[in-house]
Amino acid sequence: MSELRFDDVTVRYGRFTAVDGVSLTVPQGQVVGLVGESGSGKSTLARAAVGLAPVSGGTITLGGAPVPTRGRARPLQMVFQDPYSSLDPRMSVGESIAEAMPPGSSRAERRAEVERLLELVHLDPARARSLPSRLSGGQRQRVALARALAGRPQVVIADEITSALDVSIQGAVLNLVRELQRELGLSMLFISHNLAVVRYVASHVAVMRGGRIVEQGPTARVLSEPGHDYTRELLAAVPGRNTRP
Return the half-sphere exposure (C-beta side, CA atoms, 13 A cut-off) of residue 31. 26
Residues near 134 by beta carbon (within 8 Å), at least 6 away in sequence: none
Q: Cβ of 137: how many Cβ atoms within 10 Å?
A: 16
171 and 233 share a domain?
yes
Residue 98 is assigned to a structural domain of this protein? yes
What domain count does the chain have?
A: 2
208 and 190 share a domain?
yes
pLDDT for 29: 93
pLDDT for 1: 58
Rounded distance between C-alpha atoms, residue 58 and residue 30, angstroms: 23
Residues 211/214/220/225 CA torsion (nearest 10 deg)? -150
Neighbour-count burial for 86-125, b at 16+ CB within 10 Å, e otherwise: bbeeeebbbbbbbebbeeeeeeeebeebbbebbebbebeb
Residues near 95 by beta carbon (within 8 Å), at least 6 away in sequence: none
Structural domain containing residue 63:
1-75+155-245
122 contacts 110 by C-beta, under 8 angstroms = no
Q: Report the CATH number that the domain containing residue 17 is assigned in CATH.
A: 3.40.50.300
8 and 24 share a domain?
yes
What does residue 129 show for φ and ψ, rounded to 5 degrees? -90, -5
146 and 161 share a domain?
no
Residue 83 is assigned to a structural domain of this protein? no
One digit per residue, the tens of pLDDT, for the chain of length 245 reads 589 999 999 999 999 999 999 999 999 999 999 999 999 999 999 999 999 999 999 999 999 999 887 666 679 999 988 878 888 999 999 999 999 998 888 999 999 999 999 999 999 999 999 999 999 999 999 999 999 999 899 999 999 998 888 888 899 999 999 999 999 998 999 999 988 899 999 999 999 999 999 999 999 999 999 999 999 999 888 776 543 43
142 and 159 share a domain?
no
30 and 103 share a domain?
no
Rounded distance between C-alpha atoms, residue 145 and residue 149, angstroms: 6
Give this prediction's pTM. 0.91
139 and 165 share a domain?
no
Residue 80 is assigned to a structural domain of this protein? no
110 and 124 share a domain?
yes
173 and 221 share a domain?
yes
Final residue of a structural domain among 107, 122, 152: 152
